[in-house]
Structures are given as structure tokens and as C-alpha cells.
């Protein structure tokens, strides 16, 4: 009796923010000042910019919040919740009230 080859499928896991929240991938911390001074690894300058990875359905359907996936944003990290999802990315679930600016290109 021939055995059927077992195929294993792996389910892809995603993070979907709920309520009035967005998922942001934080930009890397800068190790050089604008003046060109190299900072040692022990010094950390908090970087509070990042890219929106996902937007909750509530925010997406509300015209009062002009924020979309892939927007570059400035956010207050005080209430940001870190997501230990991907080891090489710094992901945070951020309340929409803590997103203080969206970067837009002027045409």
C-alpha cells in the first residue's frame, strides 16, 4: 500500500492592529549626528519615526485619519507597545493619538 506524501503547509502569521491603532516599523537609531560625529554604541538617540505597516479597519474607514499603509510618520513612543514578531524589525502597535505627523512629498 503506497503512502500518500504528506505536504506540510505553513500558515503565515500577521499582526493586525485593532481599535484606533496602527502598526509601525520604527526607523533605525542613528549613530551619527548631523554634524558628522560618530556616537559610541552605548549612546542611544531615540528615533521616533517609522513606516506604517498596517492600519486597523477602524482607522482605514475613518476619513478623519488621513494615514495609510507605507506612510512615513512621526510618533510619540510613550504608549507604543513593542511586538516581538520579527527579530530583525522593531515593530510597535501605536495608538492613533500618538501619531503626531505624516511625512508627505510636495508635488
pLDDT, position 34:
66
pLDDT digits (tens, 9 = 90+) for 16-42: 899 999 999 988 766 666 676 676 666
Q: Quote the pTM value.
A: 0.72
Give domain limits for the chain: 21-103
pLDDT at 75 over 70: yes
DSSP for 55-101 reads E-HHHHT-TT----TT-EEEE-GGG-EEE-S-TTS-EEEEEGGGEEE
Which is the CATH superfamily of the domain at 21-103?
A: GroES chaperonin (2.30.33.40)
DSSP helix/strand/coil, 21? strand
Q: What is the mean pLDDT of residues 37-60?
A: 80
Amino acid at each position: 500500500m503506497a503512502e500518500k506524501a504528506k505536504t506540510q503547509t505553513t500558515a503565515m502569521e500577521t499582526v493586525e492592529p485593532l481599535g484606533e491603532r496602527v502598526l509601525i516599523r520604527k526607523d533605525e537609531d542613528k549613530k551619527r549626528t548631523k554634524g558628522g560625529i560618530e556616537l559610541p554604541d552605548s549612546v542611544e538617540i531615540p528615533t521616533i519615526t517609522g513606516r506604517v505597516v498596517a492600519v486597523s479597519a477602524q482607522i482605514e474607514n475613518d476619513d478623519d485619519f488621513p494615514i495609510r499603509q507605507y506612510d512615513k510618520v512621526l510618533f510619540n513612543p510613550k504608549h507604543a507597545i513593542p511586538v516581538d514578531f520579527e527579530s530583525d524589525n522593531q515593530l510597535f502597535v501605536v495608538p492613533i493619538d500618538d501619531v503626531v505627523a505624516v511625512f508627505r512629498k510636495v508635488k
